[in-house]
Amino acid sequence: MCGIVGGIAQRNVVPILLEGLKRLEYRGYDSAGLAVINGREIYRKRELGKVKGLEALLQADPIAGNLGIAHTRWATHGKPSTANAHPHICKNKVAVVHNGIIENHEQLRGIQLENGYKFTSETDTEVVVHEIYHAMETSTGLLNAVQKTVKKFEGAYALGIMSVDYPDTLIACRKGSPLVIGVGIGEYFIASDVAALLPVTQRFIFLEDGDIAAITIDEVVIYDANENIVTRPVKTSQLKIDSVDKGEYRHYMLKEIYEQPWAVSETLEGRFVNNRLQESSIGHNAAAIFDKVKSVQILACGTSYHAGLVARYWFEKLARVPCNIEVASEFRYRHPVLSEDTLVVTISQSGETADTLAALQETKKLGAKYSLAVCNVPESSLIRESDLVLMTRAGAEIGVASTKAFTTQLVTLMLLVIAIGRRFGLTEKLEQKITSELFSLPEKIEQVLQLNEEIKTLSEQFAEKQHALFLGRGTHYPIAMEGSLKLKEISYIHAEAYPAGELKHGPLALIDADMPVITVAPNNSLLEKLKSNMQEVSARGGQLIVFMDETLASEGSESVQIIKVPQVENETAPIVYAIPLQLLAYHVAVLKGTDVDQPRNLAKSVTVE
Protein backbone atom coordinates (compact mmCIF):
# COMPACT_ATOMS: atom_id res chain seq x y z
CA MET A 1 0.00 0.00 0.00
CA CYS A 2 1.06 3.63 0.49
CA GLY A 3 4.60 4.39 1.63
CA ILE A 4 5.87 6.91 4.18
CA VAL A 5 9.38 8.33 4.53
CA GLY A 6 10.46 11.18 6.78
CA GLY A 7 13.56 12.52 8.40
CA ILE A 8 15.20 15.10 10.63
CA ALA A 9 18.92 15.67 10.20
CA GLN A 10 21.72 18.23 10.07
CA ARG A 11 21.81 17.82 6.29
CA ASN A 12 19.37 18.23 3.43
CA VAL A 13 16.92 15.32 3.71
CA VAL A 14 15.39 15.63 0.22
CA PRO A 15 17.77 13.13 -1.49
CA ILE A 16 17.17 10.67 1.38
CA LEU A 17 13.40 11.05 1.08
CA LEU A 18 13.53 10.49 -2.68
CA GLU A 19 15.69 7.39 -2.36
CA GLY A 20 13.33 6.07 0.31
CA LEU A 21 10.33 6.56 -1.97
CA LYS A 22 12.10 4.67 -4.77
CA ARG A 23 12.71 1.77 -2.40
CA LEU A 24 9.01 1.72 -1.52
CA GLU A 25 7.80 1.67 -5.12
CA TYR A 26 7.23 -2.09 -4.95
CA ARG A 27 4.35 -1.51 -2.51
CA GLY A 28 2.19 -0.06 -5.30
CA TYR A 29 1.16 3.58 -5.71
CA ASP A 30 -0.31 6.13 -8.12
CA SER A 31 1.27 9.42 -7.02
CA ALA A 32 4.18 10.73 -4.99
CA GLY A 33 5.08 13.85 -3.05
CA LEU A 34 7.30 15.38 -0.41
CA ALA A 35 7.49 18.47 1.75
CA VAL A 36 10.25 20.10 3.78
CA ILE A 37 10.44 22.91 6.29
CA ASN A 38 13.01 25.60 5.57
CA GLY A 39 12.91 28.58 7.86
CA ARG A 40 9.27 29.46 8.47
CA GLU A 41 7.96 27.93 5.27
CA ILE A 42 6.71 24.56 4.07
CA TYR A 43 7.89 23.73 0.56
CA ARG A 44 5.97 20.96 -1.19
CA LYS A 45 6.20 19.07 -4.48
CA ARG A 46 3.66 16.48 -5.69
CA GLU A 47 3.30 14.55 -8.92
CA LEU A 48 0.84 12.06 -10.39
CA GLY A 49 2.54 8.86 -11.49
CA LYS A 50 5.96 7.46 -10.70
CA VAL A 51 8.61 8.76 -8.30
CA LYS A 52 10.83 9.60 -11.29
CA GLY A 53 8.26 12.26 -12.22
CA LEU A 54 8.59 13.80 -8.77
CA GLU A 55 12.37 13.61 -9.08
CA ALA A 56 12.24 15.47 -12.42
CA LEU A 57 10.04 18.12 -10.81
CA LEU A 58 12.61 18.62 -8.05
CA GLN A 59 15.48 18.80 -10.51
CA ALA A 60 13.70 21.58 -12.38
CA ASP A 61 12.78 23.46 -9.20
CA PRO A 62 14.85 22.23 -6.23
CA ILE A 63 13.80 22.51 -2.60
CA ALA A 64 15.85 21.68 0.51
CA GLY A 65 15.39 21.32 4.25
CA ASN A 66 16.62 19.49 7.33
CA LEU A 67 13.11 18.29 8.25
CA GLY A 68 10.83 16.61 5.75
CA ILE A 69 8.16 14.01 5.01
CA ALA A 70 7.38 12.13 1.81
CA HIS A 71 4.77 9.69 0.53
CA THR A 72 3.70 7.35 -2.25
CA ARG A 73 -0.10 7.16 -2.43
CA TRP A 74 -2.35 4.28 -3.45
CA ALA A 75 -5.80 5.76 -4.00
CA THR A 76 -8.61 4.85 -1.61
CA HIS A 77 -10.59 8.04 -0.97
CA GLY A 78 -10.41 10.16 -4.09
CA LYS A 79 -9.07 9.31 -7.53
CA PRO A 80 -5.36 9.40 -8.37
CA SER A 81 -4.48 13.06 -8.89
CA THR A 82 -1.93 15.67 -7.89
CA ALA A 83 -4.47 17.34 -5.60
CA ASN A 84 -5.08 14.07 -3.76
CA ALA A 85 -1.37 13.25 -3.45
CA HIS A 86 0.36 13.63 -0.08
CA PRO A 87 1.66 15.50 1.88
CA HIS A 88 -1.43 17.51 2.80
CA ILE A 89 -1.05 20.96 4.35
CA CYS A 90 -3.31 23.16 6.48
CA LYS A 91 -2.89 26.94 6.25
CA ASN A 92 0.82 26.61 5.46
CA LYS A 93 1.41 25.62 9.10
CA VAL A 94 1.05 21.85 9.39
CA ALA A 95 1.93 19.05 6.93
CA VAL A 96 0.93 15.40 7.17
CA VAL A 97 1.55 12.09 5.37
CA HIS A 98 -0.78 9.21 6.15
CA ASN A 99 -1.16 5.48 5.52
CA GLY A 100 -4.43 3.78 6.40
CA ILE A 101 -8.07 4.87 6.41
CA ILE A 102 -9.84 7.29 8.75
CA GLU A 103 -13.26 5.65 8.80
CA ASN A 104 -15.10 8.60 10.40
CA HIS A 105 -13.61 11.16 7.99
CA GLU A 106 -17.01 12.25 6.62
CA GLN A 107 -18.25 13.18 10.08
CA LEU A 108 -15.04 15.11 10.83
CA ARG A 109 -15.14 16.80 7.43
CA GLY A 110 -18.66 18.08 8.09
CA ILE A 111 -17.60 19.64 11.40
CA GLN A 112 -14.50 21.17 9.83
CA LEU A 113 -16.48 22.70 6.98
CA GLU A 114 -18.78 24.33 9.53
CA ASN A 115 -15.68 25.73 11.23
CA GLY A 116 -14.48 27.35 8.01
CA TYR A 117 -11.77 24.91 6.90
CA LYS A 118 -11.32 24.65 3.14
CA PHE A 119 -10.66 21.32 1.44
CA THR A 120 -8.45 21.01 -1.62
CA SER A 121 -8.68 17.21 -1.99
CA GLU A 122 -11.11 14.30 -1.78
CA THR A 123 -8.95 12.37 0.70
CA ASP A 124 -9.68 11.26 4.23
CA THR A 125 -6.16 12.46 5.12
CA GLU A 126 -7.04 16.13 4.79
CA VAL A 127 -9.29 15.90 7.85
CA VAL A 128 -6.21 14.75 9.79
CA VAL A 129 -4.13 17.82 9.01
CA HIS A 130 -7.06 20.20 9.71
CA GLU A 131 -7.79 18.45 12.99
CA ILE A 132 -4.17 18.77 14.13
CA TYR A 133 -4.06 22.45 13.18
CA HIS A 134 -7.28 23.03 15.12
CA ALA A 135 -5.93 21.20 18.19
CA MET A 136 -2.71 23.26 18.15
CA GLU A 137 -4.73 26.36 19.01
CA THR A 138 -5.51 24.93 22.46
CA SER A 139 -2.44 22.74 23.03
CA THR A 140 0.95 23.13 24.66
CA GLY A 141 2.78 21.96 21.54
CA LEU A 142 2.66 19.81 18.42
CA LEU A 143 2.97 16.58 20.39
CA ASN A 144 0.10 17.50 22.67
CA ALA A 145 -2.04 18.48 19.66
CA VAL A 146 -1.43 15.12 18.00
CA GLN A 147 -2.22 13.25 21.22
CA LYS A 148 -5.56 15.05 21.40
CA THR A 149 -6.29 14.56 17.74
CA VAL A 150 -5.73 10.84 17.31
CA LYS A 151 -8.33 10.12 19.98
CA LYS A 152 -10.94 11.38 17.52
CA PHE A 153 -9.97 8.99 14.71
CA GLU A 154 -11.68 5.70 13.95
CA GLY A 155 -9.79 3.34 11.66
CA ALA A 156 -6.14 2.70 10.91
CA TYR A 157 -3.29 5.13 10.46
CA ALA A 158 0.43 5.68 10.34
CA LEU A 159 1.26 9.39 10.40
CA GLY A 160 4.27 11.61 9.82
CA ILE A 161 3.60 15.18 11.00
CA MET A 162 5.55 18.45 11.04
CA SER A 163 4.76 22.12 11.65
CA VAL A 164 6.55 25.39 10.93
CA ASP A 165 5.84 26.41 14.53
CA TYR A 166 8.02 23.49 15.70
CA PRO A 167 10.73 23.21 13.01
CA ASP A 168 12.90 20.99 15.20
CA THR A 169 10.31 18.22 15.73
CA LEU A 170 8.99 15.32 13.66
CA ILE A 171 5.99 13.44 15.05
CA ALA A 172 5.32 9.81 14.15
CA CYS A 173 2.39 7.70 15.29
CA ARG A 174 0.74 4.44 14.34
CA LYS A 175 -2.42 2.46 14.88
CA GLY A 176 -3.01 -0.55 12.65
CA SER A 177 -0.51 0.53 9.96
CA PRO A 178 3.23 -0.16 10.30
CA LEU A 179 5.79 2.57 11.02
CA VAL A 180 9.44 2.33 12.02
CA ILE A 181 12.03 4.84 13.21
CA GLY A 182 15.50 4.62 11.71
CA VAL A 183 18.28 5.53 14.14
CA GLY A 184 21.24 7.30 12.53
CA ILE A 185 24.20 9.24 13.92
CA GLY A 186 22.80 12.60 14.96
CA GLU A 187 19.73 12.06 12.78
CA TYR A 188 16.49 10.09 12.73
CA PHE A 189 14.16 8.88 10.02
CA ILE A 190 10.71 7.31 9.78
CA ALA A 191 9.33 4.89 7.21
CA SER A 192 6.55 2.41 6.67
CA ASP A 193 9.16 -0.19 5.71
CA VAL A 194 12.72 -0.93 6.82
CA ALA A 195 13.81 -1.24 3.17
CA ALA A 196 13.26 2.49 2.60
CA LEU A 197 15.97 3.46 5.08
CA LEU A 198 18.69 0.86 4.48
CA PRO A 199 20.99 3.39 2.71
CA VAL A 200 21.15 5.51 5.89
CA THR A 201 20.82 3.02 8.77
CA GLN A 202 20.30 -0.59 9.77
CA ARG A 203 19.15 0.25 13.30
CA PHE A 204 15.41 0.56 13.86
CA ILE A 205 12.78 1.17 16.50
CA PHE A 206 9.48 -0.56 15.74
CA LEU A 207 6.53 1.44 17.01
CA GLU A 208 3.66 -0.50 18.58
CA ASP A 209 -0.05 0.17 18.17
CA GLY A 210 -1.02 3.43 19.83
CA ASP A 211 2.54 4.76 20.04
CA ILE A 212 3.31 8.42 19.35
CA ALA A 213 6.96 9.46 18.96
CA ALA A 214 8.35 12.97 19.29
CA ILE A 215 11.59 13.03 17.30
CA THR A 216 14.28 15.73 17.40
CA ILE A 217 17.92 15.78 16.31
CA ASP A 218 18.95 14.77 19.81
CA GLU A 219 16.43 12.13 20.88
CA VAL A 220 13.29 10.08 20.37
CA VAL A 221 10.65 10.12 23.08
CA ILE A 222 7.87 7.57 22.68
CA TYR A 223 4.47 7.69 24.38
CA ASP A 224 2.11 4.71 24.44
CA ALA A 225 -1.67 4.82 23.94
CA ASN A 226 -2.09 5.92 27.58
CA GLU A 227 0.41 8.79 27.08
CA ASN A 228 3.03 7.16 29.27
CA ILE A 229 6.66 7.45 28.20
CA VAL A 230 7.89 4.02 27.11
CA THR A 231 11.11 2.52 25.81
CA ARG A 232 11.07 0.49 22.61
CA PRO A 233 14.20 -1.52 21.80
CA VAL A 234 16.56 -0.59 18.97
CA LYS A 235 16.98 -3.59 16.65
CA THR A 236 19.51 -4.19 13.91
CA SER A 237 18.00 -5.31 10.62
CA GLN A 238 19.65 -8.19 8.77
CA LEU A 239 18.52 -6.82 5.40
CA LYS A 240 21.30 -5.58 3.13
CA ILE A 241 21.13 -2.57 0.84
CA ASP A 242 21.57 -4.73 -2.26
CA SER A 243 18.81 -7.14 -1.20
CA VAL A 244 16.32 -4.81 -2.86
CA ASP A 245 18.27 -4.41 -6.12
CA LYS A 246 17.41 -6.28 -9.34
CA GLY A 247 21.01 -7.21 -10.05
CA GLU A 248 21.40 -8.80 -13.50
CA TYR A 249 17.69 -9.52 -13.89
CA ARG A 250 15.24 -7.51 -15.96
CA HIS A 251 12.56 -7.63 -13.26
CA TYR A 252 12.40 -8.28 -9.53
CA MET A 253 9.92 -11.07 -10.17
CA LEU A 254 12.34 -13.04 -12.35
CA LYS A 255 15.14 -12.50 -9.82
CA GLU A 256 12.90 -13.78 -7.04
CA ILE A 257 11.83 -16.83 -9.06
CA TYR A 258 15.49 -17.73 -9.51
CA GLU A 259 16.23 -17.14 -5.81
CA GLN A 260 13.91 -19.96 -4.78
CA PRO A 261 16.52 -22.74 -4.42
CA TRP A 262 18.48 -20.48 -2.06
CA ALA A 263 15.34 -19.33 -0.22
CA VAL A 264 14.18 -22.90 0.41
CA SER A 265 17.65 -23.83 1.70
CA GLU A 266 17.58 -20.84 4.05
CA THR A 267 14.13 -21.85 5.30
CA LEU A 268 15.38 -25.33 6.21
CA GLU A 269 18.73 -24.20 7.64
CA GLY A 270 19.25 -24.81 11.36
CA ARG A 271 15.88 -26.44 11.96
CA PHE A 272 17.06 -30.05 11.84
CA VAL A 273 19.53 -32.09 13.87
CA ASN A 274 20.47 -35.47 12.41
CA ASN A 275 17.68 -34.96 9.84
CA ARG A 276 15.07 -34.59 12.58
CA LEU A 277 13.02 -31.42 12.98
CA GLN A 278 13.77 -29.55 16.21
CA GLU A 279 10.54 -28.10 17.55
CA SER A 280 12.52 -25.60 19.63
CA SER A 281 13.33 -23.84 16.32
CA ILE A 282 9.65 -22.83 16.21
CA GLY A 283 9.73 -21.46 19.76
CA HIS A 284 10.97 -22.44 23.21
CA ASN A 285 7.41 -23.32 24.23
CA ALA A 286 6.35 -24.83 20.90
CA ALA A 287 6.31 -28.43 22.12
CA ALA A 288 4.14 -27.57 25.13
CA ILE A 289 1.64 -25.77 22.90
CA PHE A 290 1.56 -28.49 20.24
CA ASP A 291 0.82 -31.07 22.97
CA LYS A 292 -2.47 -29.25 23.65
CA VAL A 293 -3.57 -28.63 20.06
CA LYS A 294 -6.55 -30.63 18.78
CA SER A 295 -7.26 -28.79 15.52
CA VAL A 296 -5.85 -26.13 13.17
CA GLN A 297 -7.49 -22.98 11.78
CA ILE A 298 -5.59 -21.27 8.94
CA LEU A 299 -6.25 -17.61 8.06
CA ALA A 300 -4.69 -15.88 5.08
CA CYS A 301 -5.32 -13.77 1.97
CA GLY A 302 -4.32 -14.04 -1.69
CA THR A 303 -1.28 -16.16 -2.45
CA SER A 304 -0.87 -16.96 1.25
CA TYR A 305 -4.40 -18.39 1.21
CA HIS A 306 -3.38 -20.76 -1.58
CA ALA A 307 -0.43 -21.92 0.53
CA GLY A 308 -2.86 -22.57 3.34
CA LEU A 309 -5.12 -24.61 1.05
CA VAL A 310 -2.23 -26.93 0.22
CA ALA A 311 -1.39 -27.20 3.92
CA ARG A 312 -4.95 -28.27 4.74
CA TYR A 313 -4.47 -31.39 2.60
CA TRP A 314 -1.17 -32.06 4.36
CA PHE A 315 -2.54 -31.56 7.87
CA GLU A 316 -5.39 -33.97 7.31
CA LYS A 317 -3.61 -36.57 5.15
CA LEU A 318 -0.20 -36.67 6.85
CA ALA A 319 -0.76 -35.31 10.35
CA ARG A 320 -4.35 -36.60 10.67
CA VAL A 321 -5.44 -33.47 12.48
CA PRO A 322 -8.64 -31.54 11.60
CA CYS A 323 -7.84 -28.38 9.66
CA ASN A 324 -10.00 -25.53 8.43
CA ILE A 325 -8.93 -22.60 6.27
CA GLU A 326 -10.68 -19.34 5.51
CA VAL A 327 -9.97 -16.11 3.70
CA ALA A 328 -9.05 -13.75 6.53
CA SER A 329 -11.24 -10.92 5.25
CA GLU A 330 -14.34 -13.12 5.61
CA PHE A 331 -13.55 -14.90 8.87
CA ARG A 332 -14.55 -12.30 11.45
CA TYR A 333 -17.79 -11.36 9.72
CA ARG A 334 -19.47 -14.77 9.81
CA HIS A 335 -19.59 -15.34 13.59
CA PRO A 336 -17.18 -18.31 13.59
CA VAL A 337 -16.91 -20.89 16.38
CA LEU A 338 -13.46 -21.91 17.65
CA SER A 339 -12.46 -24.25 20.42
CA GLU A 340 -9.77 -23.12 22.84
CA ASP A 341 -7.48 -25.99 21.80
CA THR A 342 -7.36 -24.77 18.17
CA LEU A 343 -4.01 -23.59 16.82
CA VAL A 344 -4.65 -20.45 14.77
CA VAL A 345 -2.14 -20.29 11.92
CA THR A 346 -1.89 -16.96 10.13
CA ILE A 347 0.09 -16.64 6.88
CA SER A 348 1.36 -13.34 5.49
CA GLN A 349 4.48 -12.39 3.55
CA SER A 350 4.62 -8.89 5.07
CA GLY A 351 3.09 -9.60 8.45
CA GLU A 352 1.11 -6.38 8.06
CA THR A 353 -1.92 -7.63 6.08
CA ALA A 354 -4.79 -5.78 7.74
CA ASP A 355 -7.43 -8.47 7.27
CA THR A 356 -5.17 -11.21 8.60
CA LEU A 357 -4.20 -9.16 11.66
CA ALA A 358 -7.85 -8.37 12.37
CA ALA A 359 -8.82 -12.03 11.98
CA LEU A 360 -6.10 -13.07 14.45
CA GLN A 361 -7.38 -10.55 16.97
CA GLU A 362 -10.90 -11.92 16.49
CA THR A 363 -9.75 -15.48 17.28
CA LYS A 364 -8.38 -14.26 20.59
CA LYS A 365 -11.77 -12.75 21.42
CA LEU A 366 -13.35 -16.10 20.53
CA GLY A 367 -11.18 -17.86 23.08
CA ALA A 368 -8.53 -19.55 20.93
CA LYS A 369 -5.45 -19.86 23.14
CA TYR A 370 -2.70 -20.60 20.67
CA SER A 371 -1.46 -18.78 17.57
CA LEU A 372 1.38 -19.24 15.11
CA ALA A 373 2.48 -16.86 12.35
CA VAL A 374 4.10 -17.92 9.08
CA CYS A 375 5.79 -14.74 7.93
CA ASN A 376 8.74 -13.29 6.01
CA VAL A 377 9.32 -10.09 8.01
CA PRO A 378 10.71 -10.65 11.51
CA GLU A 379 9.75 -7.25 12.94
CA SER A 380 6.16 -7.25 11.66
CA SER A 381 2.93 -6.76 13.61
CA LEU A 382 1.77 -10.34 12.96
CA ILE A 383 4.95 -11.70 14.54
CA ARG A 384 4.53 -9.56 17.64
CA GLU A 385 0.91 -10.64 18.14
CA SER A 386 1.51 -14.41 17.75
CA ASP A 387 2.62 -16.99 20.33
CA LEU A 388 4.82 -18.90 17.90
CA VAL A 389 6.61 -17.94 14.69
CA LEU A 390 7.81 -19.80 11.62
CA MET A 391 9.92 -17.39 9.59
CA THR A 392 10.05 -18.17 5.88
CA ARG A 393 13.48 -16.54 5.45
CA ALA A 394 12.79 -15.76 1.79
CA GLY A 395 14.59 -12.43 1.95
CA ALA A 396 13.12 -9.18 0.66
CA GLU A 397 10.41 -9.84 -1.94
CA ILE A 398 9.86 -6.74 -4.06
CA GLY A 399 7.69 -7.95 -6.94
CA VAL A 400 3.99 -7.56 -6.19
CA ALA A 401 3.30 -11.06 -7.54
CA SER A 402 4.61 -13.32 -4.80
CA THR A 403 6.93 -16.18 -5.83
CA LYS A 404 9.65 -17.16 -3.37
CA ALA A 405 7.45 -16.15 -0.44
CA PHE A 406 4.84 -18.66 -1.62
CA THR A 407 7.20 -21.62 -1.96
CA THR A 408 8.90 -20.90 1.37
CA GLN A 409 5.49 -20.63 3.02
CA LEU A 410 4.75 -24.13 1.78
CA VAL A 411 8.05 -25.40 3.15
CA THR A 412 7.45 -23.88 6.60
CA LEU A 413 3.89 -25.20 6.67
CA MET A 414 5.22 -28.70 6.01
CA LEU A 415 7.53 -28.26 9.01
CA LEU A 416 4.47 -27.45 11.09
CA VAL A 417 2.66 -30.52 9.72
CA ILE A 418 5.57 -32.68 10.87
CA ALA A 419 5.65 -31.14 14.35
CA ILE A 420 1.92 -31.45 14.98
CA GLY A 421 1.64 -34.79 13.16
CA ARG A 422 3.93 -36.39 15.72
CA ARG A 423 1.10 -36.01 18.23
CA PHE A 424 -1.44 -37.64 15.92
CA GLY A 425 0.36 -40.73 14.70
CA LEU A 426 2.75 -39.47 12.02
CA THR A 427 5.22 -42.35 11.86
CA GLU A 428 8.96 -41.82 12.08
CA LYS A 429 9.34 -43.54 8.71
CA LEU A 430 6.96 -41.11 6.99
CA GLU A 431 8.55 -38.17 8.77
CA GLN A 432 11.97 -39.21 7.47
CA LYS A 433 10.57 -39.57 3.95
CA ILE A 434 9.07 -36.05 4.05
CA THR A 435 12.30 -34.63 5.50
CA SER A 436 14.30 -36.22 2.69
CA GLU A 437 11.92 -34.69 0.14
CA LEU A 438 12.31 -31.26 1.72
CA PHE A 439 16.09 -31.37 1.55
CA SER A 440 15.97 -32.40 -2.12
CA LEU A 441 13.79 -29.41 -3.04
CA PRO A 442 16.55 -26.88 -3.89
CA GLU A 443 18.02 -29.27 -6.47
CA LYS A 444 14.57 -30.08 -7.88
CA ILE A 445 13.74 -26.39 -8.23
CA GLU A 446 17.07 -25.79 -10.00
CA GLN A 447 16.10 -28.48 -12.49
CA VAL A 448 12.66 -26.91 -13.08
CA LEU A 449 14.26 -23.51 -13.70
CA GLN A 450 16.05 -25.08 -16.66
CA LEU A 451 12.63 -25.18 -18.36
CA ASN A 452 12.71 -21.38 -18.61
CA GLU A 453 13.43 -21.15 -22.36
CA GLU A 454 10.84 -23.80 -23.21
CA ILE A 455 8.22 -21.93 -21.16
CA LYS A 456 9.26 -18.63 -22.72
CA THR A 457 8.53 -20.11 -26.16
CA LEU A 458 5.24 -21.51 -24.87
CA SER A 459 4.20 -18.05 -23.65
CA GLU A 460 4.00 -16.81 -27.25
CA GLN A 461 0.76 -18.76 -27.62
CA PHE A 462 -0.85 -16.36 -25.13
CA ALA A 463 -0.07 -13.16 -27.05
CA GLU A 464 -3.64 -12.72 -28.27
CA LYS A 465 -5.48 -14.68 -25.57
CA GLN A 466 -8.00 -13.03 -23.28
CA HIS A 467 -8.94 -15.99 -21.08
CA ALA A 468 -7.32 -19.10 -19.59
CA LEU A 469 -8.41 -22.03 -17.47
CA PHE A 470 -6.23 -23.84 -14.92
CA LEU A 471 -6.98 -27.36 -13.69
CA GLY A 472 -5.58 -29.46 -10.88
CA ARG A 473 -6.62 -32.19 -8.45
CA GLY A 474 -5.88 -32.74 -4.76
CA THR A 475 -3.00 -30.61 -3.48
CA HIS A 476 -2.50 -29.37 -7.04
CA TYR A 477 -5.87 -27.66 -7.23
CA PRO A 478 -4.52 -24.82 -5.00
CA ILE A 479 -1.43 -24.75 -7.24
CA ALA A 480 -3.74 -24.27 -10.22
CA MET A 481 -5.40 -21.44 -8.29
CA GLU A 482 -2.01 -19.86 -7.65
CA GLY A 483 -1.04 -20.20 -11.33
CA SER A 484 -4.30 -18.57 -12.32
CA LEU A 485 -3.75 -15.72 -9.88
CA LYS A 486 -0.21 -15.10 -11.15
CA LEU A 487 -1.36 -14.92 -14.77
CA LYS A 488 -4.20 -12.50 -14.10
CA GLU A 489 -2.13 -10.35 -11.70
CA ILE A 490 0.65 -9.46 -14.07
CA SER A 491 -0.57 -10.18 -17.62
CA TYR A 492 -4.17 -8.95 -17.10
CA ILE A 493 -5.50 -12.07 -18.83
CA HIS A 494 -8.71 -13.28 -17.24
CA ALA A 495 -7.92 -16.66 -15.69
CA GLU A 496 -9.83 -19.08 -13.49
CA ALA A 497 -8.92 -22.29 -11.71
CA TYR A 498 -11.09 -25.33 -11.06
CA PRO A 499 -10.70 -28.76 -9.54
CA ALA A 500 -10.47 -30.91 -12.67
CA GLY A 501 -13.36 -33.04 -11.42
CA GLU A 502 -15.65 -30.01 -11.67
CA LEU A 503 -15.32 -29.66 -15.44
CA LYS A 504 -18.69 -31.27 -16.12
CA HIS A 505 -20.37 -29.02 -13.57
CA GLY A 506 -20.05 -25.87 -15.66
CA PRO A 507 -16.55 -24.92 -16.87
CA LEU A 508 -16.70 -27.37 -19.80
CA ALA A 509 -19.13 -24.93 -21.46
CA LEU A 510 -16.25 -22.46 -21.81
CA ILE A 511 -13.93 -24.79 -23.68
CA ASP A 512 -13.05 -23.83 -27.27
CA ALA A 513 -9.94 -23.31 -29.39
CA ASP A 514 -9.42 -19.81 -27.95
CA MET A 515 -9.39 -20.93 -24.32
CA PRO A 516 -6.01 -22.44 -23.32
CA VAL A 517 -6.35 -24.99 -20.52
CA ILE A 518 -3.29 -25.32 -18.29
CA THR A 519 -3.14 -28.57 -16.33
CA VAL A 520 -0.84 -29.68 -13.51
CA ALA A 521 -0.25 -33.43 -13.81
CA PRO A 522 2.18 -34.94 -11.31
CA ASN A 523 2.47 -38.70 -11.02
CA ASN A 524 0.12 -39.41 -8.13
CA SER A 525 -2.97 -41.42 -7.26
CA LEU A 526 -5.29 -38.95 -9.01
CA LEU A 527 -3.46 -39.08 -12.32
CA GLU A 528 -5.86 -41.46 -14.11
CA LYS A 529 -8.85 -39.34 -13.14
CA LEU A 530 -7.00 -36.23 -14.32
CA LYS A 531 -6.25 -37.88 -17.67
CA SER A 532 -9.96 -38.50 -18.10
CA ASN A 533 -10.65 -34.81 -17.44
CA MET A 534 -8.00 -33.83 -20.00
CA GLN A 535 -9.61 -36.07 -22.62
CA GLU A 536 -12.88 -34.24 -22.04
CA VAL A 537 -11.15 -30.99 -22.92
CA SER A 538 -9.47 -32.40 -26.05
CA ALA A 539 -12.72 -33.94 -27.28
CA ARG A 540 -14.27 -30.49 -27.33
CA GLY A 541 -11.51 -28.80 -29.30
CA GLY A 542 -9.74 -27.29 -26.30
CA GLN A 543 -6.02 -26.46 -26.38
CA LEU A 544 -4.29 -28.28 -23.53
CA ILE A 545 -0.99 -27.31 -21.96
CA VAL A 546 0.11 -30.01 -19.54
CA PHE A 547 2.92 -29.75 -16.98
CA MET A 548 3.58 -33.46 -16.54
CA ASP A 549 5.97 -35.68 -14.60
CA GLU A 550 8.85 -36.63 -16.91
CA THR A 551 8.49 -40.33 -16.04
CA LEU A 552 5.00 -40.55 -17.51
CA ALA A 553 4.72 -42.06 -20.98
CA SER A 554 2.63 -39.53 -22.85
CA GLU A 555 3.08 -37.79 -26.18
CA GLY A 556 1.77 -34.45 -27.26
CA SER A 557 -0.52 -33.83 -30.21
CA GLU A 558 -1.93 -30.96 -32.22
CA SER A 559 -4.24 -30.08 -29.35
CA VAL A 560 -2.05 -31.19 -26.43
CA GLN A 561 1.30 -29.62 -25.56
CA ILE A 562 3.32 -31.37 -22.85
CA ILE A 563 6.07 -29.81 -20.74
CA LYS A 564 7.98 -32.50 -18.87
CA VAL A 565 8.71 -31.56 -15.25
CA PRO A 566 11.55 -33.32 -13.38
CA GLN A 567 10.32 -36.20 -11.24
CA VAL A 568 9.48 -35.22 -7.68
CA GLU A 569 8.03 -37.11 -4.73
CA ASN A 570 4.30 -36.70 -4.11
CA GLU A 571 4.23 -34.80 -0.83
CA THR A 572 6.42 -31.88 -1.92
CA ALA A 573 5.33 -31.90 -5.57
CA PRO A 574 3.04 -28.85 -5.14
CA ILE A 575 6.09 -26.74 -4.25
CA VAL A 576 7.93 -27.80 -7.39
CA TYR A 577 4.94 -27.49 -9.75
CA ALA A 578 4.33 -23.89 -8.68
CA ILE A 579 7.61 -22.84 -10.35
CA PRO A 580 6.73 -23.43 -14.04
CA LEU A 581 3.41 -21.63 -13.55
CA GLN A 582 5.33 -18.62 -12.15
CA LEU A 583 7.61 -18.63 -15.20
CA LEU A 584 4.64 -18.89 -17.56
CA ALA A 585 2.91 -15.89 -15.99
CA TYR A 586 6.15 -13.91 -16.07
CA HIS A 587 6.91 -14.50 -19.74
CA VAL A 588 3.32 -13.85 -20.83
CA ALA A 589 3.38 -10.54 -18.96
CA VAL A 590 6.69 -9.53 -20.56
CA LEU A 591 5.29 -10.43 -23.97
CA LYS A 592 2.21 -8.29 -23.36
CA GLY A 593 4.34 -5.37 -22.14
CA THR A 594 2.71 -4.96 -18.73
CA ASP A 595 4.41 -3.58 -15.62
CA VAL A 596 5.55 -6.93 -14.24
CA ASP A 597 6.77 -5.79 -10.82
CA GLN A 598 4.07 -3.17 -10.20
CA PRO A 599 0.89 -4.33 -11.94
CA ARG A 600 -1.89 -1.81 -12.19
CA ASN A 601 -4.24 -1.30 -9.23
CA LEU A 602 -2.33 -3.71 -6.99
CA ALA A 603 -0.20 -3.22 -3.88
CA LYS A 604 2.41 -5.51 -2.37
CA SER A 605 1.17 -5.21 1.19
CA VAL A 606 -2.56 -4.65 1.79
CA THR A 607 -2.47 -2.73 5.06
CA VAL A 608 -6.07 -1.46 5.00
CA GLU A 609 -9.38 -3.27 4.56
The DSSP letter of residue 315 is: I
Alpha-carbon torsion angle 207, 211, 212, 215, nearest 10:
-30
Mean pLDDT of the chain: 88
d(CA 410, CA 70): 36
40: amino acid identity, one letter: R
Measured between alpha carbons, how far is 89 from 92 in angstroms, rounded to an integer? 6
Q: Give the per-residue pLDDT at 195.
A: 82
Kindly tell me the burial class for residue 460, based on how many C-beta atoms sit within 10 Å of its own C-beta (0-12, 13-18, 19 or more): exposed
Question: Over pLDDT 90: what percentage of the chain?
Answer: 57
Q: How many helices (H) and strands (E) does the chain have?
A: 18, 27
Is residue 348 a contact partner of residue 321, using CB atoms and an 8 Å limit? no
Lowest mean pLDDT among 171-180, 260-269, 363-372, 600-609: 600-609
Output the pLDDT for position 1: 59
Question: Would you say residue 524 has pLDDT above 60?
Answer: no
Cα–Cα dist 421/410, whole Å: 16
Q: How confident is the model at residue 397 (pLDDT cuts 50, 70, 90)?
A: confident
Determine the Cα–Cα distance for residues 129 and 117; give it in Å rounded to an integer: 11
Amino acid at 407: T
Rounded to two decimals, what is the model's pTM? 0.74
Read off the pLDDT of residues 275-284 as tens digits, 9 standing for 90 and up: 899 888 888 8
**Active-site residue numbers?**
2, 604
End-to-end CA distance of the chain: 11
What 3-state DSSP class applies to 545? strand
DSSP symbols for 372-403: EEEES-TTSHHHHT-SEEEE-------SSS-S
- pLDDT one-digit tens code per residue, 285-336: 899 999 999 999 999 999 999 999 999 999 999 999 999 999 998 988 888 8
Query: DSSP strand E in 328-387: where?
Result: 342-348, 370-375
Question: What percent helix, strand, coil does the chain show, rounded to 5?
Answer: 40, 25, 35
Q: Please report the DSSP string for 449-489 in residue order.
A: HTTHHHHHHHHGGGTT--EEEEEE-TTHHHHHHHHHHHHHH
Q: Quick one: pLDDT at residue 430? A: 94
